[in-house]
Amino acid sequence: MNPFENRSVSLSGPATDALPVTPDDAADLPAVAIGLYIETGGVVSVDTVSGGTRTLAMTDFSILPVGVRRVRSTGTTAAGIHALVLA
């Protein structure tokens, strides 16, 4: 049984997939993320869906519940980053 089969996707979640992220200063994520999951804490530099560039300190195993268009390599020290997306 698939509980997502007849359910409409929603920005309030849950995400339907988690895609590994390779930080890149020039390329957007393949799909806009409704949030990020960070396995190894550090700093993450992102471009938000509203057009801002933000640099945030994240702890191990944390979730950043912000719409993200791009994860920048410059300034990002966090690792194991996954984009939470609505596929």
Q: What is the pLDDT of residue 16?
A: 87
Q: Return the ∠ at Cα 85 (arms to 23 and 4), rounded to 5°.
A: 155
Q: Is the pTM of this model over 0.85?
A: yes
Q: What is the pLDDT of residues 44-80, one digit of tens each?
A: 999 999 999 999 999 999 999 999 999 999 999 999 9
Q: What is the pLDDT of residues 22-41, one digit of tens each?
A: 999 999 999 999 999 999 99
| Contacts for 53 with CB less than 8 Å, ≥ 6 apart | 45, 46, 47, 72
Could you tell me if 71 and 24 are in contact, meaning their C-beta atoms sit under 8 angstroms apart? yes
Q: What is the pLDDT of residue 51?
A: 96
Rg of the chain over Cα atoms, rounded to whole angstroms, equals 13
Say whether pLDDT at 2 is over 90.
Answer: no
